[in-house]
Structure 1
Amino acid sequence: MGYAEKRGAYWRARYKIEPGKYGTVQDSTGVKVEFRTKREAKKAADEAEIKGRPTTTPGRMRFGNWANVWYERQDLAASTMQNYRRHIEEHLLPTFEDRELGSISSADVNAWAKSERGAGYADASVKTWRGTLHLLLADAVDEGLIPSNPATKRRGRGKRVGRSRSRGPEKAITTALGVLLMAERAALLSGRDDEFTALVTLGFTGMRWGELVGLEKEFIRPGEVRIEWQLYELDSGEMHRCPPKDDSRRTAVVPDWLTGLLRAQSARLCACHGRAYVFSGHRSANGAVREVGPKLVDVARRAGVSTGTVSAVLNERDSVAAATREKVAAAIADLGYVRGGVTGTVAAHWRRTGFATWLFQPAATGRYPGKNSRPVPILGEPWPGIPVRGRNAAGRADACWVPIAPGLTPHGLRHTYKTMMIELGTPPVLMDEQLGHLDGSVQARYSHTTPEMRRRLTDGLTDLWTAAINTRREMSPNSPVNVLDEMLRPRSSPKFLPTEIKRRLRAGPS
């Protein structure tokens, strides 16, 4: 690769002619060009190395060298740069690094794609990597390094069945009741209400994962949520604050009950970004979510007392009645609680893998992850059961969770939300607005959302939520999760009543 060399008050551009020999960029008269900035000199050197080397003929540059030059020229979002680098280093260079650009044929590209699929990678992933390869080679065509792009695939060529380019395996989704039940389980696994509110928000807004993690308190407004930023997790572990995918900033309408849930979440000032985020991470920042044992709140739930009472028992205070002490002691023995067993500083933000693997997956499938996947052992009371942790957890348990939505992922809740909107008869223009999609058709250009559309959507979502709450109440009238237990209590307020009943109450007696 070329480089910039400082020469007093200016920079000159140096590029490699052959091993051990470098040239300097000159103008048409043969005079060495003096550049004002290092960046200008570096860019000119890179271009000269590609186009101006006397010993370089079209097609002779190696793929690895071109990939380095191409990547350095990109000026994109940090998440996109990370993805490009991962595609190149992990999937393209192992096969093409030492190949000359002119020697790569369509047959070579197809053979590479076939070998990637044979290695167990999903078709969608191979398609993405091939897209990056196509982009690299298309730019090489523009530079005159190769005459045509061997990664170009004619539509329909080489496909075994069908003509669609986007068919894939079935996507797992769930229902409003499934969202509620999984949210309750996630809260029981984490020992706090945050995960309950988070899963309900994903299921009833269709937000992307990064948008949920990056949701700031100031964007929670009456009846709506403004999606302005996301937090994207880089390979380095840094949470990068950037616009949503495809710059899909939007205002999503939400029912009043969901606004109340989100506002009940206390804003936490994030040290790494200096902003108040609605949600914080779970457990230690070193990724040891899977190593946590039973928590103080688990003991309180099992004994049917407050966490303060459990703390008073552990601190041997005289203010606790003997009968209560016995209940707390029995709960500690049942759960295998060890005081001080959970250590580490609570992370500022969730990590995608930790959340999906150790909270979402057990909540959806009823099983912990791993090769030797095992059911989540629970104590059956109070319903739906308190997870048992520690040594001999299975031996101390008296039940286990059953699956709710096998195969579901956090992104699958976005599909679930779209499906619920279709069931409610939501107009396509409003569905696109809610999800941040862009329809470039003529029909979409002449379609617009109205307040009445939004009201019907929020009323419909409220009806789905009310039905889910009523069904959950029939299973058990109480919940160990505080925020859900409040909702399960019978209420005379019309807040949780179906939409038609609320309309009649507003209209008064006929």
Structure 2
Amino acid sequence: MGYGEKLKGSYRARYWEAPGILRTLVDAEGRTMRFSSKRAAAKAANDHEALIRRVVQSAPSPETDTPLAEEQVAGVGPQSAAPEEPDVQPAMTFGEYVNQWYAGLELAASTMQNYKRHVENHLLPEFGAKALADITRADVGAWEKKEQASYASTSVQTWHGTLHVIFEDAIEEELLSVNPAARRRGRGKRAGRSRKRGPEKVVTDALGILLVSERMALLSGRDDEFVGGVTKGYTGVRWGEMVGLETEFIRPKSIRVEWQLYELDNGELVRCPPKDDSYRTIDSMDWLSALITGQVARADPQPCLCHGRRYVFRGYGEANDAARSPGVKLADVARHAGVSVGTASNVLNRPEVVREEKRARVELAMAELGYLRGSAPGEPAAHWRRSGFATWLFQPAATGWYPKKAPQAARPVPLLAGPWPGVPARGRNASERAEACWVPIAQGLTPHGLRHTHKSIMEDMGTPPKLMDERLGHLDGSVQARYSHITSGMRRRLMEGLTEVWEASLEARRAMCLGSQVAVLDALLRGRTP
């Protein structure tokens, strides 16, 4: 039986001329015939095999020694196979295939963004111009070694997984026969899993949660960051779930996780279900419920312009730039007008340098989208932003240092010495006016590290795994988990344990200083009986 064999962007027909003799179907000039699909190539090969069998069956026996007629001899030739007209196509490049592959995906916004980042930053620069069928296992291995020289092995492993998925989909479309990104077992160094393990996540304790949250509130000048830090440390919610926490899901003794706000690379915050559809109700201690309801009462949140919903936590600082401004951004205007962001900016600031035709398109896009330049002075941003929060609030609070940002080098947070734990100095020459700085609480701690911290605190209290998984939104598919069930006693003991941990942290903080410049924490400290 004949079959189709994959070539560079096409297929060739392979047939058996005789037992043990495999041939390739060629045209009248002896060139390999190419077909657009594997099925067409196989059909042409089978047709030619059938023709050969008919010719052999009609050939005279050796005894007659009668030569074949000229027509019969010609009949064996490939020109009489009469295969369907081949659809010869140029070899498809990896870049061409990836473009159509990505356009056909329908996944969560976060997954689409991650795939796009992997492809554009790490795969297209290496494989984009190569023919899809020409990429070999050696090419993938060389690319992987080059990436590992500049990036963490865990990141390279993630990008390798995306490449593997792309090739698997190409195989399903019959564009490839093997996956050059597939890993073969038993090959390479036997160094165990430690070579691919990322650095251990930094965690803190209950007192660390409280101190970091207090410092964040001192840096921002309001109570929101204190309540937000404590909420994250004592519920283990993900970042997007905390930013997307709507007031309607705050209950007297629980928090309902129904949505998250996922931040895309272009600054857009997408309201979408929580990761892995981890909808859940998180039990809340009485003191935590009081903190959150007090935050809502103080902030009196109004529906945001981007989603039209009320959120527990607002953004930090004024909405005075495109990254933190609610509503239509200048990048949206540029995309709508089909110009660069720089051109759209010039229309606002230097219209004389922009051609009249482009200027008219940008102005029309602004009118159609309802773009408003700037915001009212003092208007707070609608939502926290991951990078700004981590860089200018969380990291300085946890480490005592501002990160490097050109032209400034990394520097300690400048403080005025009193009252304890110090008041951040602001304004011009703040570093020269500083009298003190903070010592690190947990070097390397990140906002996501508070989620790990919450899990560590629960494990230290002996919380059942089933209850920890429910609280964190994890799914355990093991048999043990199937036979484990959560009881009211487990929930009560967890609430009591977390309350004891919280009370102990307040006592430790009060031993350092009786009061705080953070109003909500000051009330908690001074309200305790000595």
CA contact (8 A) 1:283 1:289 kept: no
**Residue 70 in structure 1 maps to residue 101 in structure 2:** yes
The offset of 1:156, in angstroms, is: 6.2
Where 1:399 maps in the other structure, the secondary structure is coil
What is the aligned partner in structure 2 of residue 274 from structure 1?
308
The offset of 1:220, in angstroms, is: 1.1
Structure 1 gaps of 5+ residues are: 1-27, 29-51, 291-341, 498-510
CA contact (8 A) 2:154 2:197 kept: no
**Residue 54 in structure 1 maps to residue 87 in structure 2:** yes
What is the aligned partner in structure 1 of residue 174 from structure 2?
144
The offset of 1:154, in angstroms, is: 3.2
What is the aligned partner in structure 2 of residue 336 from structure 1?
none
Deviations 1:386-440 (A, max 9, x none): 0002222122111111100100110011110110010010000001000000001
Distance 2:426 2:397 in 1: 15
TM alignment of 1:435-450, pairs within 5 A: 435-450=472-487
Where 1:189 maps in the other structure, the secondary structure is helix
1:90 to 118, 121, 128: 121
One-letter identity of the residue aligned with 1:256: D
1:364 to 369, 377, 398: 398
**Residue 426 in structure 1 maps to residue 463 in structure 2:** yes
**Residue 182 in structure 1 maps to residue 212 in structure 2:** yes
Rg larger in 1 or in 2?
A: 2
What is the aligned partner in structure 1 of residue 46 from structure 2?
none
In structure 2, the CA distance between the partners of 1:56 and 1:288, relative to structure 1 (3 Å rule), is closer
TM alignment of 1:276-291, pairs within 5 A: 276-286=310-320
The offset of 1:168, in angstroms, is: 2.1
**Residue 230 in structure 1 maps to residue 260 in structure 2:** yes
Distance 2:454 2:109 in 1: 29
Distance 1:419 1:254 in 2: 18
**Residue 199 in structure 1 maps to residue 233 in structure 2:** no
Distance 2:110 2:220 in 1: 29
In structure 2, the CA distance between the partners of 1:183 and 1:129, relative to structure 1 (3 Å rule), is same
**Residue 481 in structure 1 maps to residue 518 in structure 2:** yes
1:243 to 266, 273, 277: 273
What is the aligned partner in structure 2 of residue 105 from structure 1?
136
Where 1:127 maps in the other structure, the secondary structure is helix
What TM-score comes out, normalization by structure 1 length? Answer: 0.73
Q: What number of residue pairs does the alignment pair up?
A: 389
CA contact (8 A) 1:289 1:354 kept: no
The offset of 1:103, in angstroms, is: 1.4
In structure 2, the CA distance between the partners of 1:401 and 1:289, relative to structure 1 (3 Å rule), is farther
CA contact (8 A) 1:282 1:289 kept: no
Distance 1:253 1:209 in 2: 18
One-letter identity of the residue aligned with 1:146: L
CA contact (8 A) 2:261 2:272 kept: yes
In structure 2, the CA distance between the partners of 1:461 and 1:157, relative to structure 1 (3 Å rule), is farther
CA contact (8 A) 1:375 1:401 kept: yes
Deviations 1:230-259 (A, max 9, x none): 000112211100001111111111211111
In structure 2, the CA distance between the partners of 1:417 and 1:144, relative to structure 1 (3 Å rule), is same
In structure 2, the CA distance between the partners of 1:423 and 1:157, relative to structure 1 (3 Å rule), is farther
One-letter identity of the residue aligned with 1:491: R
Deviating above 6 A after TM superposition, structure 1's stretches of 4 or more consecutive aligned residues are: none
One-letter identity of the residue aligned with 1:270: C
The offset of 1:344, in angstroms, is: 5.6
Where 2:282 maps in the other structure, the secondary structure is strand
What is the aligned partner in structure 2 of residue 171 from structure 1?
201
Where 1:133 maps in the other structure, the secondary structure is helix
RMSD: 2.2
What is the aligned partner in structure 2 of residue 40 from structure 1?
none
In structure 2, the CA distance between the partners of 1:288 and 1:67, relative to structure 1 (3 Å rule), is closer
Where 2:138 maps in the other structure, the secondary structure is helix
In structure 2, the CA distance between the partners of 1:440 and 1:165, relative to structure 1 (3 Å rule), is farther
Where 2:381 maps in the other structure, the secondary structure is coil
- Tell me which moved more, 389-398 or 134-143: 389-398
CA contact (8 A) 1:287 1:354 kept: no
Structure 2 gaps of 5+ residues are: 1-39, 41-84, 325-375
Give aligned-pair identity as a percent: 62
Where 2:256 maps in the other structure, the secondary structure is strand
Distance 2:272 2:186 in 1: 37
CA contact (8 A) 1:289 1:358 kept: no
Distance 1:157 1:406 in 2: 38
